[in-house]
Amino acid sequence: MNTQAEFNYDRVARAITFIRSNFKEQPSLNEIAESVHLSPYHFQRLFTEWAGVSPKKFMQYISVEHAKKMLKEAQVTLSEAAMETGFSGTGRLHDLFVNIEGMTPGEYKNGGENLEINYSFAESPFGKLIVASTPKGICHMSFVDDGKEGFEDLKSRFPNANYRQLLDKNQQDGLAIFRDDWSKQERIKLHLNGTPFQLKVWETLLKIPTGSLTVYGSIAHKIERPKASRAVGTAIGKNPVAFLIPCHRVIQSTGKIGDYMWGSTRKSAIIGWEAAQMAPAE
């Protein structure tokens, strides 16, 4: 059964799809509201409660022009210190609070036959999630439209592991990233199966500050593989942990949002939502 949060996100997602499809025409509030079968008043209130900004402001955050401006500013004004520490000027926790540990060959042997995996389902501002963890940390987090399909996808990644539906502390620490108050956030631990190259790319993604954007070539330069943009893109596409490893912050050099494992509309939603969270209060 869908929760109210899922219904709300579904309406917001449909509105974002409409905005993205009709951005050049700069649709009015009435037109956007009509596309999701709500009155302008109720739509404005729903959208602002979800995003923290008006639909008009959100349109600006997901525009190509805004993305290009962010990419340019990142090249000119973003200090290496900020990239390396991962902390924003406001003192909010940034993504380097996430610690990645690679699985050993023994842990992943024969499809994860040595792994004990707990999993659970949770709500997020961007729809339902399945999150799974070993005793060492989160090994999988994915947006899901159908819980059964989400669990089958998890099992396909570790077909011989032992599974138990249980919300454990590792999962709780990871899911806390969606809370407004991060002051008591525990260090988030990830336990991932990946090649050394993939792990290096995923670790580099953690250095992109919340609300910022970058491109594939920039990641390639950061890992000292400037000609490996395509391989970087492939590694990003295999990211096993949605949102916590922020692959959504990597876009095309043209400023277009680009593809996303969990849907380009959801990627737009996350990018706009993060920009709204980091924007100064009006």
Backbone angles phi, psi at 250, to 5 degrees: -105, 120
User: What span, in angstroms and rounded, lies between the C-alpha atoms of 165 and 153?
Assistant: 15
User: What span, in angstroms and rounded, lies between the C-alpha atoms of 184 and 212?
Assistant: 24
Choice among 213, 247, 269, 276 that is catalytic: 247
User: What span, in angstroms and rounded, lies between the C-alpha atoms of 88 and 69?
Assistant: 19
Mark whether 247 is an active-site residue. Answer: yes
Q: Which residue has the tokens 């109720």?
A: 42
Non-local (6+) Cβ contacts of 146 within 8 A are none
DSSP conformation class of 131: E
Residue 184 identity (one-letter amino acid): K
Q: Residues 118, 164: contact at Cβ < 8 Å? A: yes
Centre a 10 Å sphere on the Cβ of residue 254 and count the other Cβ atoms it contains.
11
Helices 4-21, 40-51: crossing angle, 10 deg rounding:
100
Residue 127 identity (one-letter amino acid): G
C-alpha to C-alpha distances, 14 to 35, 153, 165, 243, nearest whole angstrom:
8, 25, 31, 20
User: What span, in angstroms and rounded, lies between the C-alpha atoms of 233 and 119?
Assistant: 28
User: What span, in angstroms and rounded, lies between the C-alpha atoms of 67 and 255?
Assistant: 5
Report the catalytic residues.
247
